Amino acid sequence: MRPWPAPAVPVLPGRGEPVLLHDTSTGARTVAAPGPRARLYVCGITPYDATHLGHAATYLAFDLLQRAWRDAGLEVRYVQNVTDVDDPLLERATRDGVDWRELAASQVELFATDMEALRLLPPASWVGAVEAIPRIAAAVRALVARGAAYALPPAPDQVDHADGSPGDVYADLSADPRFGQVSGLDRDTMLALSAERGGDPQRPGKRDPLDPLLWRAARTGEPSWDGGTLGAGRPGWHVECTVIAVDDLGSGFDVQGGGSDLVFPHHEMSASHGGLLYSPPFARVYAHAGMVGLDGEKMSKSKGNLVLVSKLRAAGVEPAAVRLAVLAHHYRSDWSWTAQGLDDAAARLARWRAAVAVGGGEAGSLAAQAQEAVLADLRSRLADDLDAPGALAVLDAWAAVTLAAPAPGTRADLVADAVDALLGIAL
Ligand code: 5CA
Ligand code: ZN
């Protein structure tokens, strides 16, 4: 897919610090990418509804990471997928009487527009599941060939159940000694989350209730593709991300990212497939953004309690204010979107802009030194597990001092560039 256009990113003097990130799999902070290249995969949208603030917050977290990496001199390669064929998308299309491909295409388009408005760095490679199906099918066949996957008997509702085609194919988790290392969860929790998040632990005939679907045999009324020896069908969700990530970034890439709702089963299973298909580990670090809610509930397409980026834009809200409202929360915390948070962000943006307009000064002056200190402090806040609230506090303090002793007509260009490059906000 063609990604949205990239925003301009000013190059700052000096260099940022190596970025430390909390790794879900170890619970410890670690250097996110030792360099000189940084390879990032972030799980993309399932395009059946418009971008909500939760999605935006997750992508913003990894946008901050990339900006900090670039500032630290790393060459960043960023890949994102689009889950453009999946049960929820097909169900929504059927419910609304639209073609699933048209629904996906329209939502992908809207997402790209939202991302561009929010000035998110686009992925170098933006890959739809559908376009990757031949490669995914090959990976599933490879798992079957090495005894790490098995087919169930054909299901009665399969299109070709009578002609000897195999049934649905599942990964055999007992083939993977590393299974469980990403999430570190106990089995009961895994079972509960599997049922909640797209798994089918109740399905009879599986060797282990947790075994995830790799290939779903064709059903009447569902799209399907030729899977070779797998028969006609479509891929399971986790193996899609495994293949799309490793094909582009190579096994052992630096950071696998997404929201915390993906820790289990999605990232656990993707890592399991990846570890068996290629040389382990699948990724070096697993990083997860907290869940954004509305009125105390997780914001989700299925619950319908959404604040849409596109609606806010249509209502005239400045995207920079949306960005700042999100960045007021640490990426790992769970938080709720509020109108007050947006008002606060707009007020903060106005204060920073007023300070930039009067906060410059000659080289060597106190005002110039204050700007250099801001840049150093922003860099150290962001290198510390992307502490955006800490970065905002640095700027608030600078703005307060600057506005108390303004030098009208002197623009604080260094601060403006730093906020633009590191936080993605143009002042
Ligand atoms: N297509 C899959 C990933 S392969 C998927 O989870 N799609 S999604 O559209 O449901 O979510 C897209 C991204 O937004 C994922 O990284 C997900 O973890 C994140 N996300 C979803 N809901 C929220 C939320 N309420 N708060 C924060 N992040 C969220
Ligand atoms: Zn994914």
Give me 158's structure tokens.
Answer: 């399969």
Counting ligands in written order, the one closest to the CA of 306 is 1
CB atoms within 10 A of CB 73: 11
Q: Which residues of 92-115 are buried (b: 16+ CB within 10 A; e: fewer)?
A: bbeeeeeebeebbeebbebbbbbb
- Pair 56, 407: CB distance under 8 Å: no
Counting ligands in written order, the one closest to the CA of 82 is 1
pLDDT at 182: 98
Could you tell which of 51, 55, 242 is best to mutate to test the pocket of ligand 1, judged by most ligand atoms within 8 Å of the CB? Answer: 55
C-alpha angle 267-271-273 in degrees, rounded to nearest 5: 120
Q: Counting atoms of ligand 1 from 1, which one is nearest the CA of 58?
A: 28
CA distances from 169 to 72, 140, 151, 195, 204 (A): 44, 8, 4, 18, 13
pLDDT, block means (10 residues), the chain with 427 residues: 97 98 98 97 94 95 98 98 95 95 96 97 98 98 98 88 82 98 98 96 97 96 94 97 98 98 98 96 98 84 85 96 98 96 98 97 91 98 98 98 95 98 98
Q: Counting atoms of ligand 1 from 1, which one is nearest the CA of 82?
A: 1
Q: Counting atoms of ligand 1 from 1, which one is nearest the CA of 42?
A: 16
Counting ligands in written order, the one closest to the CA of 239 is 2
Q: Counting atoms of ligand 1 from 1, which one is nearest the CA of 299?
A: 25
**Which residue has its alpha carbon closest to ligand 1 atom 23?**
54
Distance of alpha carbon 131 from alpha carbon 97, whole angstroms: 24
Distance, CA of 141 to chain centre: 28
Radius of gyration of the chain (CA): 23
CB atoms within 10 A of CB 284: 19
Residue whose C-alpha is closest to residue 91's, from 79, 72, 104:
104
C-alpha angle 23-27-32 in degrees, rounded to nearest 5: 25
pLDDT at 302: 75
Distance of alpha carbon 190 from alpha carbon 331, whole angstroms: 24
Distance of alpha carbon 242 from alpha carbon 239, whole angstroms: 5
Residue whose C-alpha is closest to residue 352's, from 385, 407, 298, 392:
392
pLDDT at 416: 98
pLDDT at 266: 98
Distance of alpha carbon 187 from alpha carbon 165, whole angstroms: 33
Residue whose C-alpha is closest to residue 17's, from 33, 40, 3, 6:
33
**Ligand 1 centre and the CA of 130: distance in Å?**
19
Q: Taking CB atoms and a 6 Å cutoff, what residues make up the pocket around ligand 1? A: 43-46, 54-55, 57-58, 81, 83, 241, 258-259, 261-262, 289, 291-292, 298-300
**Which residue has its alpha carbon closest to ligand 1 atom 24?**
54
CA distances from 82 to 48, 130, 161, 315, 354 (A): 11, 9, 30, 27, 40
Distance of alpha carbon 185 from alpha carbon 33, whole angstroms: 25
Structure pTM? 0.97
